[in-house]
Chains A and B, each alone.
Chain A
Amino acid sequence: MSFDVAELLTLYEIVNFSFPERYEELIQEIAEKGSRLLGIRRLAIMVDEGGRLICLGKWGFRKGEDFAQRITDPGENGFVYTMSHGLRGLIFLEASARISGREKRLFNIFARRIEDVIALKQMESKIKESEREKKTILDSILELLIYQDAEHRIMWANTSAAKYAGKRSEELTGGLCYETLYRRKEPCAGCPVASALKTGVPQEGLVTPLEGKQFFVRGYPVKSQKGIIEGIVEVCFEVTERIQAEEAFRTIFNSVHDAIFIHEPEGKILDVNETMLRMYGIASKEEAVKLSIARDYSSPDSPLEQLREWWKKAVEGESPRFEWKARRPVDGTVFDAEVCLKKITFAGKEAILATVRDITARKREEELLRSIFGHSPIGMYIVSKGRFRLVNAQFEKLSGYSQEELIGREALSLVYPEDREAVRRNAVRMLKGMAAQPYDFRIITKHGEIKWVEETVASLQHEGQRVTLGNIMDITEKKRFAQKLEYVSLHDQLTGLYNRAYFEEQLKRLGKSNKYPISIIVADVNGLKLVNDTMGHQKGDKLLIACAQILKKALRPSDIVARVGGDEFVALLPRTDEATGSNILHQLRLSIERYNRKHPQLPLSVSFGIATAYNSEELLKQTYRRADDLMYREKLYLGTSARSKIVNALLAALSERDHLTEGHGRRLQHLCRILGEKMGLSRQQLANLSLLAQVHDIGKVGIPDRILFKKGPLTEEEWEIMRQHPEKGYRIALASPDLAGIADLILKHHEKWDGSGYPLGLKGEEIPIECRILAIADAFDAMTSDRPYRRAKTVEEALEEIRRCAGTQFDPKLVEIFLQVILTKEEVSKGQKVAN
């Protein structure tokens, strides 16, 4: 077998690969060598990856050309080489023409060489992959990882270190550790790397390479098989923040207002804060940690069993919070505390953190609040989920139920059923802050009494729940008063009818209503003033009440009757036409007549006016005015006759009351007439004198019986009333046309000659002659008549007395004449006969 040079060179070259970095370049090289040296026109390399053939590279196949098909069916110019008996994959080579035996051998050599290269490359990839993995792992470590030599020169650094230095990993290599990482000129003081180098064993410690920056550094010496230190692996991480955080924690630990104990789960105290020392009055931590929480820091009265339970819960991971009687070991004083236990990790171990809060002040406050709650004059309650949870004494009192009966009961059940919805609505509004004013409603007490209450509610946190605090006040009285006030403001006190204000309101309201036709009756009590003045207001009031009752009785419920003035009444009659109105008025008049028949001593006289409106408000006011006018017209028409009736009634009443005085009147009339005639009085004067003799005491109708008929002397006060009768008589007389002419005489009939009389204190002849005559005659008759309290004087005694009073009490001239007259016995006896 012989080879020429070219063939030898070919053989030599096909096994000579440059072993390129990337698979693409390897394929290029295979294509170059294959096409140039072996005339290969197509090739493909398939590798086995988990049982599947994956194309590592191909050449000479057009896009989309099915090369797999070509490999399966290589034909005469195709050559398939199986790598590791097919386990690694295959190599396909295609020549331009049928492959000769010689070519096949060359192809085989070529393919085997390719297989070697691929195997090498795969191994290389695996190594690279594992190196990459290692690098990824080291790079993923957050700590700074630096491999350095004895001179602190960096041989390798991970990404964290590079990131810290602000450079790429490769840039760190060769630099001095302290210079590259911390920009220092010399190694850090106390660097564990240096001591690890010296000692040959791992070292660690805190390093401050820069001001304000602290690092935790570990140095691990890396030794060769012979034990020579080749370098140091430095692992470091910044702990500035952690140290700052620890310092901050210490500050907080010591400055909180709660005492803090840190215990082992078994109970031994590990640490306490400064607040604890202050709170318990202990001098030092060393002393504090020696003592026992159960024995020394708890009051002997505290239930230690309970403490064990809580402790167990804390160890199991719960955070119990409870109140406790804490004890100061120094002096044994006890204070109220709130304790919270919590499991924590302390210095890498499980621990129990106990925070103790001095709640003495809070307890005091709670006590105060409880006392306020208990003694509040306001009914207070706490409701949660619609049911009473807590009530105070005042609430019990108010509702009539006991606390036991109320707790758990539905809050709204106490509310008057009709008011429940409003209460619910108002409460919700107030709880939402939409309303601030208290609202009122009715409750039904245990005893069935309905009470008005005023309530405010507020939302608050109670025992960890959101609850409603309610405050209620009993406003039943207030409410009643308000109702009364309302009644008063709209009603006339005396008659119980509506007042003027209400009437005017109704007039307006009706004016706008559709209750037309509306008739208005105006009624005015005649002679009220006379009655008031003479018989007193009580009588007048009686008259008004009588009038009101008659009106009320005669009118329909739909009619509105009001007292609009002292003696004036108005009735509004809705849906009443003129005819009906007149009919009603007629009935009214009949009622008054009936009344007067029953009460002749004080008859009721009323003037009426009626008018009807058919529409519009303006017309209604006019109608009222028209009715008023008509009433006045009737009053005018009735005029004096009405008053006379009253005066007559008064006289009747007077005579009925004082039967004695009636006889007295007649005797007096007789004596006066004689004297008058003697004095040459005119006929009119004599008539007046006669009348005066009869009615001069008409004013006495207003004097109460107890004064008028008093046995024994009158008091000054009684005299005062007594002395009013001339004026009252004067007013009565003025009201009566029959008596008006003698009104002045009635007024002056108690004047005395010397001016010591009353009411005007007239003197001498200022006193009308009729009065002077009456005075003498009256005194004589009085003295000569029996009185309940004394016997009658004799004529002589009487005359003597009159004589004695001449010039003081009586007109002396008249006394003279009177004496003459009286001394004529006949006259006297005549007079006595008359009297009998």
Chain B
Amino acid sequence: MKKSTNVTAQRNNRWALLGIKAMVGVVVLILIALLGDILITGLPHVSWHFLTSPSKDFGAGGGIANQLFNSIYILVLTLLISCPIALGAGIYLSEFARPNFLTSVIRTIIEVLSSLPSIVIGLFGYLILVIKFQFDFSIFSGAIAVMLVNLPLLTRNTEEALHAVPQTQREAGWALGLSKWRTISRIILPAAIPGLVTGVILSAGRIFGEAAALIYTAGQSAPLISYTNWNPFSPTSFLNPMRPAETLAVHIWKLNTDGITPDATQISSGASAVLIIVILIIILGSRWLGSYLYRKMGGTKS
């Protein structure tokens, strides 16, 4: 009797473990198929011409130059605004907030913001920035909306990176008579740099692929712009933050929703491949930079 249950248990064990491995295999295959499909169907459409010529609404053969630039512009602008705010907010939560009711309310509100669908945040941007404050569909409106998507994640990342610095480092600073603020800015922040940098780079990946928050804030059109017009107030200047600016991700969505561009599928494939490659570079870059900084900061032994 005992023996037979044992045999059954052994058999179940074998099958279950096999099942787990098979499911893991399926997941890996899905990823390979996804990446393979994007790169194999997309890369043949990516050429220098594709990357450097403007898109066409009604004809075939358009490129993605402006969309690519717009994506980068919004990325940079968003990071410029959200990094300092997230840093400050993360410092507050990690270093100053006492464990009390008020702090738990603050944390809950930030969690709610981070769990809001980005389309809802985009619509809020539309309501406030585009309509109420009349910034219209613009890079600026888009950057603020994406900032809202990004802030709670970046804040949490900052808090975690600071939290990971041992408490003994803070005590070392305090016991020398340094102010709490100096201890944070000169001891804790430098020690947290690897974690902070990794977080910012990963958030850059998210921003670059973001579309839902942008379709009603940065807009769905990419008017012709001039890359030689350096006057940021001129409507045709590539630097003007108040012009409508369809990004690469929005472009892919737009092409497949409107269906008026004859080679929409080819362009989407090419644009998806470009998007994925940029994001791959970002992910790999963050891993490399993160471990480089850890090594640099940590000394050779530890």
Check if A and B associate. no
> Which residues of B are at the interface with A, using a C-beta cutoff of 8 A?
none
